[in-house]
Structure 1
Amino acid sequence: MRPVRRFHSALASMTVALCIGAAKADSPIELPGSIRQGEMVIGRVPPGSQVLIGEREVRVADDGWFVFGAGRDSTGVQRVEAILPGGRRSSVEVEIEGREWRIERVDGLPQSTVTPDPVLAERIGREQARVIEARKRDDDRTDFLHGFIWPVEGRVSGVYGSQRILNGTPRNPHYGLDVAVPTGTPLKAPAAGVVIFADPDLYLTGGTLTIDHGHGISSTFIHLSRLDRKVGDRVEQGEIVGAVGATGRATGPHMHWGMNWFDVRLDPQLLLPTRP
């Protein structure tokens, strides 16, 4: 397995980290030597190849680039198989590195704050289904290849993978990156793409905007006080697409940025340059 670049960005630049894999050195599949839980993984195969991630066939760009994601709770190894232009098959297995997650237990809460009203639960489910449907988009654009930047500057107030256990009931993990900034702070597109979802008033997430970066990679921003772009708009990296807020069910103004590879939740912070 040949090494491939691991992408981090600063003002649309990419740094290169060579990752030595344990798989066959003569494999035509280029991948990092290991994968972290929550990571967006970029690989490359000879142009014209087909790629399977497990049992799932993924899109391959004309120049051979492909992308997939490892979920928060993925473990073991990820099998990647390529069917080369001549029909020969090649496969590698890449180790998935575990991470430690922040777990918080809170007991003694009124049960009404833990279990939503059935009518509200139905609305929440209906609204979230619309977002999930939008994330199924699979364009041939490769905007994800050009790196990601911080959408706002501020204090990180929430991290991917953390979880609360309320009155003994585990809640869904926090699938995103939170940055505490005032309401009205301009929000920049972290990478170029096309807006595939925009709604100013969802019950849980308030103002919600999703940008598709190609090949199933998307960024979703929630609790926005203003949406400056509509579905179908093309946006470039660094362009203002809205403003931070505290709409929906939020305790205070902050940027929440969630990333997906289709239905797999990813950690945006793994794609960003470390701040001083």
Structure 2
Amino acid sequence: MPSNDGSFLDHPPSSAGDGSYRDQERLGQWIAESVLEEASGTGTGDGGGNCYGDLPKDTYFAGSLIPSDEAELSGLSEDLQSKLSPTAIQAEFLFDPRSVDRLTVTVSGNVYYRSFPTYEEQFERSVSGVPSEDEDDHDTDQQKGEFTTVYRRISFESEPIDIEVPDNEIVQEGEAVTTEIRRQVLETLQRRLQERIQSADAANSEPPVWRSMADVSVPTTVQIDDGEGGTQSITIEADKYSGDYQFPPSLFEDIPADVRRTMYESLVEEIASRGGPVKTPWGLDVQCEFYDDEDYVRGL
């Protein structure tokens, strides 16, 4: 039993190295890691690093950033905005300016891009496009098939960024000192992220990157492989609210799985051929400010 002057973890008993204690420690670590992965989208669980159904920014909240222009239009106070939907992450640290003249910063994280779902994601993870037998409304004329919403994760890490520490005399003047940094590293990183999107779109092993409705005129008629050596004409429309593609809900009903796969992959390929991949304008920036803190310098 633990003593009364603290918790079991704070003051482990003399037998802390036994199997029971180690099991508790592992369980605690597993719970903490699971919660963090779920909140930040950094895990590799059932989704395999993909985000299904909602926007990543609406799914993950730990360490999630939004573009600064969205923050300006949110209508929230600056304090509330920084808590609910921050546009930046800040790290604060102290150092002795007499022993440090240069800092090295590495930027890492995850970004997401939308793509068409694979056959498995469309028909095994979701019932999108195939009305459920449990639906109250069986009037298929009023229903539309839609693609499952899928965002795929790309992890990144920049090259080291060197930041020069200003002279201590300048910092001691009382005003914050902002140091210029070499932005070529960030520009290169942004370009490489876009190149990875292009590579994913061109890879036969990956589903195509999402196409904007603005680049694909709808409603439109596409010819797809009917899985039996012929073609079939399909009318594609757009949802008036989300702008997502819609196809006849009965398109994939009551057909063998191999035929359904052929028709589905033909549909995705035909839509993707009518426009270029959506390019997300990710923006990355690093700023470093220095303040006097008695015998030390405080960096932000």
* TM-score, structure 2 normalization: 0.21
The structure that is strand-richer by fraction is: 1
Higher helix share: 2
TM-score, normalised by the number of residues in structure 1: 0.22
Considering only CA atoms, is the larger Rg found in Structure 1 or Structure 2?
2
